[in-house]
Amino acid sequence: MRKTDRTASTPSSNFIRDIIEEDLRTDRYGGRVHTRFPPEPNGYLHIGHAKSICLNFGLAADYGGLCNLRFDDTNPTKEEIEYVESIKEDVRWLGFDWGDREFYASDYFEQLYEYAVQLIKKGKAYVCDLSPEEIREYRGTLTEPGKESPYRNRSVEENLDLFERMRAGEFEDGSRTLRAKIDMASPNMNMRDPVMYRILHATHHRTGDKWCIYPTYDWAHGQSDSIEGITHSICTLEFEDHRPLYDWFLDQLGIHHPRQIEFARLNLSYTVLSKRKLRILVEEGHVNGWDDPRMPTLSGLRRRGYTPESIRDFCERIGVARADSLVDIALLEHCLREDLNKRAPRVMAVLRPLRMVIDNYPEGQVEWFDAVNNPEDPGMGTRKVPFSRVLYIEQDDFREDPPKKWFRLAPGREVRLKHAYLVTCVQVVKDEQTGEVVELHCTYDPETRGGAAPDGRKVRGTLHWVSAAHALEAEVRLYNRLFTKADPDDAPEGLDFRANLNPNSLEVLTECRVEPSLAGAEVGSHYQFLRLGYFCVDPDSLAGKLVFNRTVPLRDTWAKIERKIKEQRGK
């Protein structure tokens, strides 16, 4: 069914939607909208792919169409089943469904071969014996035309014979290619007799040893789209110059002709979005795998605590454009906070514990206070939090020598313990050798149950805490940006993005304490640790001890950045 009325609730318009609507109006594809997401299974998907996934599946959904998942698996040497599985898991996790339309370019190898034979018969393709280096030399440059291959004018019969023997495995790797016969003087380098097939005696993860010639991406891509009846083939800008070639192939073959539309790829500050570079990070051990929470892969973001909703919201907000730009990672984090603010229950956790004894609180007594799970959503209810004589607070929340405007704890100062009582620090115990503060003694005011002073005295600081006897031990992993530069590729002469790796991107705290309500917290569940940020339960918790990842700290810098951007635009 076609959707023609655009209400205010539909996603914002963009140039791709304009093109699709134009095609619907002119009935170019019989009212159909059929897109595809075509990953090459040579790595894990990253946030850039999410933009393409949301776009392709989103457009199909909005126009009542279909979106295929197609693995562009034309390169046997770099592809693995592990990647195929991870890609499917990630697309599903993002919230999209390709139904029974899981396709592989390798399923079309036979058809592509037939198409190639057709071009040979038309005199539009030939077998060339130049080596890869010679082909490069003959290609010319942007300013000089190329030279025609001496094999260009082979007869159709000879070409058919040689091509068949290429397939049969008679020739060595790299000894021959099949090339399109177009124009060695074309100003577009892609049109200078591009290679369609190369000889490669390699085992393919799906076709095994059936083939020893493999189609190039340029030859496979447009025809795969055509075979699947794709109407709008959406790709990133670097393929703009390939479009004339794809059009040429389709026109020569006279088959269904999808419309290719290019958009700008996502670039994100402090991040590399190239599978090649991400693979280097994994293989050289700069991170602990493709799903390391510092990675911009979807599996890394998921483990870090990103929700599919926040990523979809981000992709919607960045929109699509025809010009390259750099998106501030603060926007991604902002979308995440907005989502987690709604869904994450608040709990208390102490990352760097400092022991606090309430001298006048009865030994052995325990009070269970009601604590609101999410002030944003009363429907999320309350839980009980135990209070007792010995607590832990955050080391950072105490200063022996406080600066001006210090509202947290200091000798003689009174603060509020969230959900509980007002306490006053009466004594500081230090390690004799190191001088380090190891314990605080406080008194509590029994009249302030729940945290309010009946005499209305002002207490500005409110601290989180846990009861020492009840708290659970936990490990907390704090993450910082993986790169120290907004543009990681901006490296000194002779070096690359690796030179900008942040040596402090991971900090592991092993002595943390969390409130007992977190016992049995499920892997992947999200929490706001009061005053500290959003955290989620890491799969490593399955080994026994609770392990949390800090997803993001609380402070949101996006509003400030957005204001600056608007000011700059206004100028």
Range in contact with ligand ATP (rule: CB under 6 A) among 249-257, 270-278, 352-360, 398-406: 270-278
The answer to whether 106 contacts ligand ATP (rule: CB under 6 A) is: no
Q: Helix, strand, coil shares of the chain as percentages rounded to 5?
A: 30, 25, 45
The answer to whether 75 contacts ligand ATP (rule: CB under 6 A) is: no
Cβ distance to ligand ATP smaller for residue 465 or 497: 497
What are the backbone angles phi and psi of residue 116, rounded to the nearest 5°? -65, -40
The answer to whether 498 contacts ligand ATP (rule: CB under 6 A) is: no
- Compute the least distance from the CB of residue 56 to ligand ATP, in Å: 8
Site string for Mg ion, 27-66 (x = CB under 5 A): -------------x--------------------------
Cβ distance to ligand ATP smaller for residue 300 or 386: 300
SS (H, E, C) 459-489: CCCEECCEECCCCEEEEEEEECCCECCCCCC
The answer to whether 439 contacts Mg ion (rule: CB under 5 A) is: no
The answer to whether 54 contacts ligand ATP (rule: CB under 6 A) is: no
Count of positions on this chain that bind ligand ATP (CB under 6 A): 14
Active site residues: 40, 265, 275
Cβ distance to ligand ATP smaller for residue 233 or 467: 233
The answer to whether 51 contacts ligand ATP (rule: CB under 6 A) is: yes
Q: Which does 224 bind (CB under 5 to 8 A by kind): Mg ion, ligand ATP, none?
A: none
Q: Please pick, from the candidates 33, 44, 52, 109, the single residue that binds ligand ATP as defined by CB under 6 A.
A: 52
Q: Please pick, from the candidates 207, 236, 252, 341, the single residue that binds ligand ATP as defined by CB under 6 A.
A: 236
- Beta carbons of 67 and 100 less than 8 angstroms apart: no
- Compute the least distance from the CB of residue 125 to ligand ATP, in Å: 25
Q: What is the dihedral of CA 402, 407, 413, 416, to 10 degrees?
A: -150
Range in contact with ligand ATP (rule: CB under 6 A) among 146-154, 271-279, 381-389, 550-558: 271-279
Cβ distance to ligand ATP smaller for residue 32 or 46: 46
Residue 253 belongs to what H/E stretch?
A: helix 243-253
Strand order of the β-sheet with 462-463 is 462-463, 414-417, 422-430, 437-444, 353-358, 390-394, 466-467
* Nearby residues of 290 by Cβ (< 8 Å), 6 or more positions away: 43, 44, 86, 278, 282, 297, 299, 300
Q: How far apart are CA 408 and CA 411, in angstroms?
A: 10
Q: Distance from first CA to last CA of the chain, Å, rounded?
A: 45
Cβ distance to ligand ATP smaller for residue 91 or 463: 91
Q: How far apart are CA 341 and CA 501, in angstroms?
A: 30
Tell me which residue has its CB nearest to ligand ATP.
Answer: 48
The answer to whether 277 contacts Mg ion (rule: CB under 5 A) is: no
Question: Tokens for 10?
Answer: 């539909």
Count of positions on this chain that bind Mg ion (CB under 5 A): 1
- Compute the least distance from the CB of residue 265 to Mg ion, in Å: 11
Residue 550 belongs to what H/E stretch?
A: strand 546-552
Question: Tokens for 211?
Answer: 């083939």
What are the backbone angles phi and psi of residue 254, rounded to the nearest 5°? 65, 40
Residues 142-161 that bind ligand ATP (CB under 6 A): none
Q: Which does 106 bind (CB under 5 to 8 A by kind): ligand ATP, Mg ion, none?
A: none
- Compute the least distance from the CB of residue 48 to ligand ATP, in Å: 2
Count of residues making up the chain: 571
Range in contact with ligand ATP (rule: CB under 6 A) among 46-54, 99-107, 192-200, 541-549: 46-54
Q: How far apart are CA 218 and CA 198, in angstroms?
A: 12
φ/ψ region of 251 (left if φ > 0, alpha if ψ in -120 to 50, else beta) reads alpha
- Beta carbons of 297 and 239 less than 8 angstroms apart: no
- Compute the least distance from the CB of residue 275 to ligand ATP, in Å: 3
φ/ψ region of 401 (left if φ > 0, alpha if ψ in -120 to 50, else beta) reads beta
Q: How far apart are CA 46 and CA 292, in angstroms?
A: 12
- Compute the least distance from the CB of residue 314 to ligand ATP, in Å: 12
Cβ distance to ligand ATP smaller for residue 275 or 312: 275
Q: How far apart are CA 409 and CA 461, in angstroms?
A: 8
Q: Please pick, from the candidates 84, 235, 547, 552, the single residue that binds ligand ATP as defined by CB under 6 A.
A: 235
Q: Which does 273 bind (CB under 5 to 8 A by kind): Mg ion, ligand ATP, none?
A: ligand ATP
Q: Please pick, from the candidates 176, 204, 259, 275, the single residue that binds ligand ATP as defined by CB under 6 A.
A: 275
- Compute the least distance from the CB of residue 115 to ligand ATP, in Å: 21
Residue 10 DSSP class:
S
Q: Please pick, from the candidates 216, 274, 395, 462, the single residue that binds ligand ATP as defined by CB under 6 A.
A: 274
Q: Please pick, from the candidates 24, 29, 38, 533, the single residue that binds ligand ATP as defined by CB under 6 A.
A: 38
Question: Tokens for 440?
Answer: 């605080």
The answer to whether 468 contacts ligand ATP (rule: CB under 6 A) is: no
Cβ distance to ligand ATP smaller for residue 41 or 533: 41
Residue closest to 294 by CA, chosen among 24, 483, 88: 483
Question: Tokens for 96?
Answer: 């999209």
Residues forming contacts to Mg ion in the complex (CB under 5 A) are 40
Residues forming contacts to ligand ATP in the complex (CB under 6 A) are 38-40, 48-49, 51-52, 235-236, 265-266, 273-275
